[in-house]
A = this chain, B = another copy of it.
Amino acid sequence: MAAAKTDAVEQNPNAGARGDADPSEIGRLIVQCSDQPGIVSTVSGVLAQFGANIVSLDQHSTDPSGGRFFQRTEFHLAHLSARRAELESVLEARVGEPYEAEWSLASPARRKRVAIMVSKTDHCLLELLWRQRRGELPIDIVMVISNHSTLADDVRAFGIPFVHIAVDSSDKTAAERAQLELLRGNVDLVVLARYMQIISENFLERVGAPVINIHHSFLPAFVGAGPYQKARDRGVKMIGATAHYVTADLDEGPIIEQDVVRVDHGHSAQELQRRGADVERRVLARAVEWHCDDRVLRHDNLTVVFD
């Protein structure tokens, strides 16, 4: 006699994983401004005035005197869609203007549209596709773009468009133009899931959406190519991966998430690569989930992550 008996939750593993509320009645208010007395009270006062019920509230201040203030408030408000314009107008008048705050109002009912860019390595791509299919990622994956055709069948098996755009390594202009035509205005996020090409500053300026990359090392250690071989040569006892926003400075953008795994002298560079791959997929999946749940706020070259 062995194995566990039937589990009630087995029937419907993902039902209600994020609560039973109608997503269209859930709002997420993100506020960022100089820290000033009264800001929390003002924001929660506006929500109370509309009869919203705060579901979760996270806030951070780099320094209560003169620092930067960050807040994420998730609330339930009946008929949010209908009352949204009115709420936004009051928020601008009472929060945006007086506090000179950057703010935005999102809702889980409006899922982020995500494009994935990839080369030949499949583990990060598949992790995102699988999690999305299992209902674990609150996103719509609207296309996969690759500089190789290797992964076309894998992607299309998920019913997701796969577009092959070859990259001429001596001149990437044409390829980037083709990529931008597909992406601009169509996506809320671009994920580089082991896309092994340098991206130009021009691309970043024009794409109109944040870009998240997975780097296969624990940054800032082992920047650039071949990090597993470098890790092996240096004899480190842990290897890691880093998910970060892509900026004009290679491997220098704001870090969203990192993790590591122990290794030892018995592991070849290729074994490091294999173990590292498990960390990469885990770290990238978390970063994408947090970003798409509006949990990641950027400031200078740093992130505030309300996980």
Within the complex, what minimum Cβ distance (angstroms) separates A262 from chain B? 9
* Given contacts A9-B273, A44-B40, A238 and B259 within 8 Å (CB-CB): yes
Q: Do the beta carbons of B3 and A196 come within 8 Å of each other?
A: yes
Digitize A74-102: 1 where CB-to-B-CB distance is under 8 Å, 0 elsewhere.
00100000000000000000000000000
Interface size on A, residues (CB 8 A): 115
A47's nearest neighbour on chain B, judged by CB, is B41
Q: Do the beta carbons of A4 and B199 come within 8 Å of each other?
A: no
A223's nearest neighbour on chain B, judged by CB, is B4
* Given contacts A2-B253, A236-B219, A37 and B9 within 8 Å (CB-CB): no
CA gap between A61 and B5 in the complex, in Å? 32
Let me know if A45 is at the binding interface, CB within 8 A: yes
Which residues of A268-307 are within 8 A (CB) of B?
268-271, 273-274, 277-278, 282, 301-305
Residue among B236, B269, B270, B305 making CB contact with A255, cutoff 8 Å: B236
Q: Do the beta carbons of B192 and A3 come within 8 Å of each other?
A: yes
Q: Do the beta carbons of B255 and A237 come within 8 Å of each other?
A: yes
CA gap between A125 and B271 in the complex, in Å? 23
Q: Do the beta carbons of B37 and A48 come within 8 Å of each other?
A: yes
Let me know if A185 is at the binding interface, CB within 8 A: no
Q: Do the beta carbons of B37 and A51 come within 8 Å of each other?
A: yes
Q: List 22 A-B contacts (CB under 8 A).
A: A1-B201, A2-B192, A2-B198, A2-B199, A5-B224, A9-B270, A9-B273, A13-B121, A13-B273, A37-B53, A40-B54, A41-B44, A41-B47, A56-B61, A58-B58, A60-B265, A136-B274, A235-B255, A238-B240, A238-B259, A238-B260, A260-B260
Q: Do the beta carbons of B253 and A9 come within 8 Å of each other?
A: no
Stretch at the interface among A105-113, A138-146, A242-250: A242-250
CA gap between A258 and B60 in the complex, in Å? 26
Within the complex, what minimum Cβ distance (angstroms) separates A276 from chain B? 11
Let me know if A215 is at the binding interface, CB within 8 A: yes
Q: Do the beta carbons of A199 and B37 come within 8 Å of each other?
A: no
Which residues of A170-215 are within 8 A (CB) of B?
192, 194-201, 204, 211, 213, 215
Q: Do the beta carbons of A10 and B120 come within 8 Å of each other?
A: yes
Chain B residues whose C-beta falls within 8 Å of the C-beta of A305 in the assembled complex: 237, 264-265
* Given contacts A17-B270, A64-B54, A130-B126, A216 and B4 within 8 Å (CB-CB): yes
Q: Do the beta carbons of A248 and B204 come within 8 Å of each other?
A: no
In the complex, besides A10-B194, A11-B120, 13 extra interface pairs with C-beta distance below 8 angstroms are: A1-B200, A2-B247, A3-B198, A5-B196, A6-B196, A7-B225, A9-B226, A13-B273, A21-B64, A53-B65, A54-B61, A218-B238, A219-B236
CA gap between A136 and B76 in the complex, in Å? 40
Q: Which 6 A-B pairs have the closest CB atoms?
A: A41-B48, A2-B246, A41-B44, A235-B302, A221-B221, A5-B225
